[in-house]
Copies of this chain bind each other. A is one copy, B any other.
Amino acid sequence: MSNVYDQLKMLGIELPAASAPATAYMMSAQTDKIVFLSGHIAKKNGKVWAGKLGDVLDIEQGRKAARSVAIDLIATLHSHIGDLNRIKHIVKVTSLVNSTPDFTEQHLVANGASELFVSVFGEKGKHARSAFGVAQIPLGSCIEIELIAEIE
């Protein structure tokens, strides 16, 4: 069993501070052994990473944005659980891609997040997934991702 923090270090990933919500909700909520994470939006250089896929952003930029959101989600999991090694399974990931009505490659964008979870958590990182295009996302973010994880 590899240590998740060693794995993060090997991938050159430094976890950011966990995001704080602005209002009457939380970035994570738990029921029994299941942790639900709120939708996390994309950030770049501390600002919202805005724009639509199919318009100002291309697939490769979308993939990078999805990967960065996945890192933020892991930071929130770390903040919630205290020890990422207690994660038994990333169960479900839902990737909402800010899309023009013609952009149909949401799955390729979402792979930026899905592949990171597998890089970091190995087999435990393999998840069920939905990816689809939405009309907009808060603050114009190019992607929003939520997830469900099971902990030991």
Taking Cβ atoms with an 8 Å cutoff, the residues of A that contact B are 21-34, 36-39, 50, 52, 54, 88-89, 91-94, 96, 99-107, 111, 114-115, 117-118, 125-140, 144, 146, 148, 150
Interchain CB contact under 8 A, A138 and B106: yes
Q: A24-B126, A128-B146 given. 6 additional CB < 8 A pairs?
A: A24-B117, A38-B129, A38-B130, A103-B136, A104-B140, A132-B144
Across-interface contacts of A22 in B (CB, < 8 A): 107
Which residues of B sit under 8 angstroms from A31, Cβ to Cβ?
A: 33-34, 88-89, 91, 148, 150
**Minimum C-beta distance from A15 to chain B (A):** 19
Q: Closest 9 A-B residue pairs measured CB to CB?
A: A39-B130, A133-B136, A29-B128, A107-B138, A25-B129, A133-B135, A36-B128, A104-B140, A31-B150
A130: nearest residue on chain B (CB-CB)?
Answer: B39
A102 neighbours in B (Cβ, 8 Å) = 136
Q: A66 vs B36: C-alpha distance in the bound complex, in angstroms? A: 21
A137-B106, A139-B104 known; A92+B29 contact, CB < 8 A: yes
- Cβ-closest chain B residue relative to A104: B140
Q: When the two chains form the complex, which single residue of B29, B111, B127, B128 contacts A127, counting CB atoms closer than 8 Å? A: B29
How distant is the Cα of A38 from the Cα of B67 in the complex, in angstroms?
19
Chain B neighbourhood of A94, CB < 8 A: 130
Nearest CB of B to A26, in Å: 5
The interface residues of chain B lying within 8 Å CB-to-CB of A138 are: 104-107, 131-132
